[in-house]
A and B are shown apart, each in its own frame.
Chain A
Amino acid sequence: MIGRAGIAVVSLLVLASCHKDVGEEEVSVSGNTPFALQLPPGFPVPVTPADNPLTTASVQLGKALFFDPRLSRDGSISCASCHLPALAFSDPARVSSGFQGRTGFRNSPTLANLAYHSAFFRDGGVPTLEQQVIAPIHDAVEMDHDINLVAAMLRDVEPYKQLSQQAYGRALDAWVITRSIANYERTLISGWSRYDRYVQGEANALTEQELRGLQLFTSAELNCTSCHSGFDLSDHAFHNVGQYLDYGTDPGRERITLQPGDVGKFKTPTLRNVALTAPYMHDGRMPSLKHVIDHFASGGLPHTNLDPEMRTFTLSDADKADLIAFLESLTDERPLDQVP
């Protein structure tokens, strides 16, 4: 006869053995389903970090943070202030204005197809999208804030409080902010242009003029595709295209590698939505596509590190117009933003 006391003891032991440590307690992640990323036909599935799966809650959280000016010290600058959705998440200013109107020294690039990049910033100094997030928040000429202070300020504010738990099972902190914004940026996929429809077999997707421009673009003489190739129209590599003889305070890739052979090298930008992303080049010094074409036609300045693929060519005004028409066909026919 065990008796009531014995049953109670056994029950307590059984319950105790089932109990999880507080630190191991699972947090409800209801609603945190995998995000259904829409990809253009033929695009590979982007690789996401093992510790940051692309989920609905994470991209919603990232989007909310991306558009929140409270990420800046005086509450005036959000990520979207310098990466405008209507301009393929680029900035029409030569260099963006940050906190208190301070300016940096590089043009804000489009954020399209960052999911496929393996190095970030124009010099490739940052290896992951997650780590990239810290830079603008802390940069004195951008948001001039502190990611830990941002987290503390927004931790108990909705939708951050709920989404952070849903997405990552923890309160908003630097880790969550970097992960979620990176995931939102991974959803900014570009590949729905008339050019894409043409590539997919829709012969009438491009006009005659645009087709002439495409022919020029892919010609051996212009050699554009030696760098602007593949589904993202970029090799994501670093090249010196002879913008300057002396790169002065912005040596590009050399800033990271400290190798003299990397002076003046910058990451090849995608040409997707290029008609929307003026001004051009790493410092935004070229206001129009015509200026860019003229520069490449010149073969670039004879810098020591000038890329060997740079070569001179001659184009008539009509050719230039055709080439520009083709480049304009690379504009997406739908918004990049997929997150409701």
Chain B
Amino acid sequence: MRYIHLASLALVILVLAGCREDESVKPEPTTGTLRLTLVPEWEGQPMQRFTEYRNISDYRMTIELLKMHLGEIRLTNGDADAYLADATYWDLGNGPVSQEWAVAKGTWPAFQAALGIRPELNYADPAAYGPGHPLNVSNGTYWNWATGYRFVMFEGRYDPDPASTATLISAFAIHTGMDTCYTELDLTPATPIVIEGGRTTEVVVRIAVDRFFYSSSDNIDLATENTAHGNNVPLALKFTRYVKDSFSVQ
């Protein structure tokens, strides 16, 4: 009888042990998610395509297209880098866009990227990139006559007459590309990025599109500087500088 009781007790323990969820065995996630969100704005408000704005020259203008490529997206912590993407594509015409990557948990003091695509990728055969790839030709950023990508495509219409109410007709199209326009971006927030296992950390980068037309020392006059399509390098370089300066990180 005593043996029966002992056997019953052992069976109950086994059953209970089998039913218990062993939390100590469940591995803690070693990676979290980094979400990068680009937010195009005009003077602090969400940028809207086809909305009439006034630029620094007091020109009436609208924006019809804003696309860009960011490359070499990486986190660094001094000991190791987390290389997230060699090329990304952002169509910002319809507002904020986010992209995510899995990142090892930890503290990352620096977050960097490039405005553009590094030369090895920029001149690779685009037919190798299938649909959905950031460098697929269907994105419309491929400069097919020069075998490279337009790093930033910014298009719209303008009227230099601030008093006019006429329909905006004159077009501007500033496209940067080629290696000369490749430039580094520092997306590091004020405090280090902390990635926690299984959780998402978001970095929001605001792009002040109104700043695309000026810096503290000069500006772009759309009346005379409205086209860069590989044939206006000074404008492309100036515009690249303005775009770079328009980024601010939250």
Contact = CB atoms under 8 A, between A and B. Distances in A.
Contact of B231 (A127, A131, A251): A251
A125 B136 contact: no
A86 B184 CA distance: 51
- Looking at B125, B128, B131, B178, the one whose CB has the most chain A CB atoms below 10 A away is B125
Q: Is the interface of A mostly helix, strand, loop or mixed?
A: helix
A247 to B, nearest CB: 11
A135 interface: yes
B145 A135 contact: yes
Contacts of A256: 146
Contacts, number: 63
A7 to B, nearest CB: 39
A146 B145 contact: no
Given A147-B138, A148-B137, 16 more contacts: A123-B145, A125-B145, A125-B147, A126-B144, A126-B146, A130-B127, A134-B137, A134-B144, A138-B142, A146-B137, A146-B138, A148-B136, A175-B128, A255-B146, A258-B180, A258-B233
Nearest to B146: A125
Nearest to B231: A255
A147 B231 contact: no
A294 interface: no
B126 interface: yes
B127 A131 contact: yes
A128 interface: yes
B96 interface: no
Contacts of A179: 127
25 contacts: A121-B145, A123-B145, A125-B145, A125-B147, A126-B146, A126-B147, A128-B125, A131-B147, A134-B127, A134-B142, A134-B144, A135-B145, A139-B144, A139-B145, A148-B136, A148-B137, A149-B138, A173-B127, A173-B130, A174-B126, A174-B137, A178-B125, A249-B231, A251-B231, A258-B233
Interface residues of A, number: 27
A135 B144 contact: yes
Contacts of A135: 144-145
A255 B230 CA distance: 7
A146 B137 CA distance: 8
Interface in B120-159: 123, 125-128, 130-131, 136-138, 142, 144-147
| 9 A-B pairs closest in CB distance | A135-B144, A174-B127, A178-B127, A175-B127, A125-B146, A148-B138, A134-B144, A138-B144, A125-B145
A177 B127 CA distance: 9
B217 to A, nearest CB: 24
Nearest to A152: B131
Interface in A137-194: 138-139, 146-149, 173-175, 177-179
A127 B125 CA distance: 10
A152 B125 CA distance: 19
A242 to B, nearest CB: 21
A149 B136 CA distance: 12
Interface in A106-138: 121, 123, 125-128, 130-131, 134-135, 138
